[in-house]
Amino acid sequence: MKNGMELALCEARNAAERGEVPVGAVVLGPDGTVLAQGGNRVEELQDPSAHAEMLVMREALAVRGGQRLADCTLVVTLEPCPMCAAALAHFRVGRVLFGAYDPKGGGVEHGPRLPFRAEALHRPEIIGGVREQEAAGLLKTFFQSLRTREEAENPHP
Amino acid sequence: MKNGMELALCEARNAAERGEVPVGAVVLGPDGTVLAQGGNRVEELQDPSAHAEMLVMREALAVRGGQRLADCTLVVTLEPCPMCAAALAHFRVGRVLFGAYDPKGGGVEHGPRLPFRAEALHRPEIIGGVREQEAAGLLKTFFQSLRTREEAENPHP
């Protein structure tokens, strides 16, 4: 069986093929069962909140019922942004494994570091940097090819 | 025509009748047209992220197309939580009017104060305390009646 990060990376690659920023996520139940897996769908759904984490957390609850993921692990290829980092507390996610660190847009280990704030309602166990190179590599390749395409379409004289 | 906060308060009352924490929200277009209105549906959808703000921002884009609400106003009866405060930036909301302040759970004027952080991608114009007493009153009444019901169901000896 593929592990969670392997699946999340696969979902990130699928997202890139759909023209989405390549971020993928998986929710694993307490026994390691995959409850939900998916990628970023911001462009497809024309919904700026359709980050991979939001989609899979919602789907995992739809599968299981209830309103908490306290015995679950969210695996995601990129450090969650502040929106998703705050949602982790609403969903009471037990554990978060993420791939690449995001110094500019992250909200877990960077920026507001929401789970570590005194007023945080809930703090998941957090492990960052899992298969960091691969996760970061996907994003780097995606944005490089985006820039190349933009430069080809808008050449400077 | 009712103004935005009047409609948002109405949606908050509807939410309370559905057994939801009474928070209501409205998105107004540049000419004041109501693009979306709704209340909290966390219980109904069994989705901890189904805050009024998230639902109406998504609905407003579904109505209009595109991925930005830069020329729109989000009106909400309670100061947005950190998740919704961060989502304001993803949706590029132009202006936010909110009712009651939320010193414990708010993320705009309290807690991480996300729109005011140096790394924030976007900062909407923010006006808090609009019809504050009414908005706060709805929440107070709701939580009091919840406590009364819980005490009746679980009487202390």
Q: What is the pLDDT of residue B94?
A: 98
Please name the member of B48, B65, B112 whose beta carbon is closest to the beta carbon of A91. B48
Q: What is the pLDDT of residue B66?
A: 87
Please name the member of B46, B68, B117 whose beta carbon is closest to the beta carbon of A65. B46
Q: How confident is the model at residue A157 (pLDDT cuts 50, 70, 90)?
A: low
Contacts of B67 (CB under 8 A, 6+ apart): A42, A46, A47, A48, B61, B91, B92
Q: Read off the tokens for B75.
A: 């009106």
Q: What is the pLDDT of residue A2?
A: 61
Q: What is the pLDDT of residue B1?
A: 44
Residue recorded with tokens 């660190």: A101
A81 annotated as a binding-site residue: yes
pLDDT in tens, A76-106: 999 999 999 999 999 999 999 999 999 999 9
Residue A7 has pLDDT above 70, yes or no: yes
Residues of A with catalytic annotation? 53
Mutate which: A44, A47, A51, A113, vs B, most B CBs within 10 A: A47
Query: Torsion over CA of B87, B89, B95 and B101, rounded to 10 degrees?
Result: 50
Residue A1 has pLDDT above 60, yes or no: no
Chain A environment of B82 (Cβ under 8 Å)? 82, 85-86, 112, 114
Written as tens digits, the pLDDT of chain B (157 aa) is 469 999 999 999 999 999 999 999 999 999 999 999 999 999 999 999 999 999 999 999 999 998 899 999 999 999 999 999 999 999 999 999 999 999 999 999 999 999 999 999 899 999 999 999 999 999 999 999 888 888 888 877 6
Q: How confident is the model at residue A67 (pLDDT cuts 50, 70, 90)?
A: confident
Q: What is the mean pLDDT of residues A40-52?
A: 97
Which domains are delineated in chain B? Answer: 4-153 (3.40.140.10)
The answer to whether B39 and B53 are in contact (CB under 8 A) is: no
Q: What is the pLDDT of residue B150?
A: 86
Q: What is the mean pLDDT of residues A13-42?
A: 97
Residue-averaged pLDDT of chain A = 95
Q: Read off the tokens for A9.
A: 């990376």
In chain B, DSSP finds a helix count (H) and a strand count (E) of 5, 5
Q: What is the pLDDT of residue B129?
A: 97
Q: Residue B84 gets which letter from DSSP?
A: H
pLDDT in tens, A107-144: 999 999 999 999 998 999 999 999 999 999 999 999 99
Work out how many CB contacts closer than 8 A connect A with B. Answer: 82
Please name the member of A48, A65, A67 whose beta carbon is closest to the beta carbon of B90. A48
The answer to whether A66 and B46 are in contact (CB under 8 A) is: yes
Q: What is the pLDDT of residue B157?
A: 62
